Structure 1
């Protein structure tokens, strides 16, 4: 039987542990109530001027106003988004460093790069989705391929003969084309260009028969009739091209290859701060001017809970990593 002294000592230790827990909870609560009390850095892991930068600035403007503190966009381009994402993963988990996440950095790079320096499931806390952008398979207006079914039939008849343009290897555009070929069971001659502009120029000129590209750079061609969209890669039709079917509707059920944008924080960021940021982000995405600015980039606003954001990241990374391993793609 334990002595009174032993029981007293144990009670004291339990009490001290409880006080420590309560103190930590109170500290986190106080930190969240005081948040934010200084400017917040939003890392964009790409140079200024692109889609990621535009999306970040749309959100930064609104969150700066609602949070009462400036959100400073910090462009840290390099290595396809790896450098900036790695920096965000290693930042203090206090809510003062955030990351603009993208399909490339969250879904593709972890498997594409030999050592990305971050793990999307261990190093980040999802805050919420911002938008989704579909890609599209495009061709010339006089092309014999009127539908995706036509393209698949032709590819099966002449394996490796149809030239398909895309962005550089490892990008969303390139992997979209690879996913299409894998899903349809066809072999086409994939030609990766250094950039979307060159790919579109060769497509308009007839040097490639088909291309998989994001919609914004091709929007003028699509509306002007110098290019024709066969199908969009999203699960549902794009509001910007409502008459264009999805690839899934066109004979490949379940096909989906969207580009997602979302807001993340370093893992360990207190949940009350995550919840506050999610609340303000969702409020911003509900505003007509934000929706209009996102629509200008041919994207669709897409709000979510942190859990929904995390689930999508998990599904997306699983899908692309499976394909990357199958293709044996690696960047050192």
Structure 2
């Protein structure tokens, strides 16, 4: 039997509020990784400033592998450009451990419009230039950026309407006050089940497990529209590689368990494992491509 990972508890920081996807993933993985590594994992919620408070906390910890961050497409994707004056560097202060999950962004439209495909949407938008608005979870969020990338790819004229989260955005679509929204799979599924929302496409490289009949945007004819709310574990840079490797292996093992997968998929979260080297390349590319979009559109958060 392998020796315990550590004689001290490992802290897994969720930089967002309790009850959200970050928190759920932390609790699932902390329990399962703790069992396989013979070490207690403690979840610590440090929410605020779109994830920057918890991220800054981990960046200040000793590089001993005892503190992990459940980072995501905000902390290690968009935030470095949207919030440039932070007391840490997302590229230099963190060592990737592994990616653990992804939530594809869905293009969801009101059924009142009678739009059944991306081609229908484009035809409708061209007949009604400047009259189409899309909602998202807020300025600079994955839905907002996905909508802007979609606009560029399709050459459509649409106005962005920010909301305080995916849920209020999809509720507006359900109520017919908003034509469409770019939201995570979970909120989109609620709208679909109501019969008032239709999912036209998912902005990912493959179809969503929970929406297998919905095409990807690429299948609809437009490449490069891939925006995923992804989640990954990071440690302080300089942390012992052997510890991080063992934690990565334990996370991979947990994600292969049927009960873990079921709990994630029930919440429309796709178990998605990438080892440290692949996550390192991926998140650096994410920062680069989102920086281009954010700067081109002069997106500012208040």
Deviation at 1:285, TM superposition (A): 1.1
Structure 1 residue aligned with 2:270: 300
Task: Tell me the C-alpha RMSD between the 2 structures.
Answer: 1.6
Matched, 1:323 2:293: yes
Deviation at 1:142, TM superposition (A): 3.5
Matched, 1:69 2:39: yes
Larger radius of gyration: 1
Deviation at 1:324, TM superposition (A): 0.7
Structure 2 residue aligned with 1:206: 176
Asked if the contact 1:109–1:116 (Cα under 8 Å) also holds between the matched residues in 2, the reply is no
Structure 2 residue aligned with 1:20: none
| SS across alignment from 2:95 | strand
Q: What is the total number of aligned residue pairs between the two structures?
A: 301
Asked if the contact 2:3–2:38 (Cα under 8 Å) also holds between the matched residues in 1, the reply is no
Asked if the contact 2:108–2:188 (Cα under 8 Å) also holds between the matched residues in 1, the reply is no
- Single out whichever of 90-99 and 250-259 deviates more from structure 2: 250-259
Deviation at 1:33, TM superposition (A): 6.8
TM-score (ref. length: structure 2): 0.95
Asked if the contact 2:132–2:158 (Cα under 8 Å) also holds between the matched residues in 1, the reply is yes
Which has more helix, going by share of residues? 1
Deviation at 1:238, TM superposition (A): 0.7
Structure 2 residue aligned with 1:85: 55
Segments of 5+ residues of structure 1 without an aligned counterpart are 1-31
Deviation at 1:328, TM superposition (A): 1.2
Which has more strand, going by share of residues? 2
| SS across alignment from 2:47 | coil
Structure 2 residue aligned with 1:269: 239
Asked if the contact 1:184–1:252 (Cα under 8 Å) also holds between the matched residues in 2, the reply is yes
Asked if the contact 1:114–1:331 (Cα under 8 Å) also holds between the matched residues in 2, the reply is no
Deviation at 1:47, TM superposition (A): 1.1
Query: Which stretches of structure 1, 4 residues or more, deviate above 3 A after TM superposition?
Result: 32-35
Asked if the contact 2:139–2:300 (Cα under 8 Å) also holds between the matched residues in 1, the reply is no
Deviation at 1:34, TM superposition (A): 6.7
Matched, 1:95 2:65: yes
Structure 2 residue aligned with 1:241: 211
Matched, 1:177 2:147: yes
Deviation at 1:120, TM superposition (A): 2.3
- Single out whichever of 233-242 and 213-222 deviates more from structure 2: 213-222
Asked if the contact 2:112–2:176 (Cα under 8 Å) also holds between the matched residues in 1, the reply is no
Structure 2 residue aligned with 1:128: 98
- Single out whichever of 181-190 and 100-109 deviates more from structure 2: 181-190
Asked if the contact 1:127–1:277 (Cα under 8 Å) also holds between the matched residues in 2, the reply is yes
Asked if the contact 2:46–2:53 (Cα under 8 Å) also holds between the matched residues in 1, the reply is yes
Asked if the contact 1:110–1:118 (Cα under 8 Å) also holds between the matched residues in 2, the reply is no
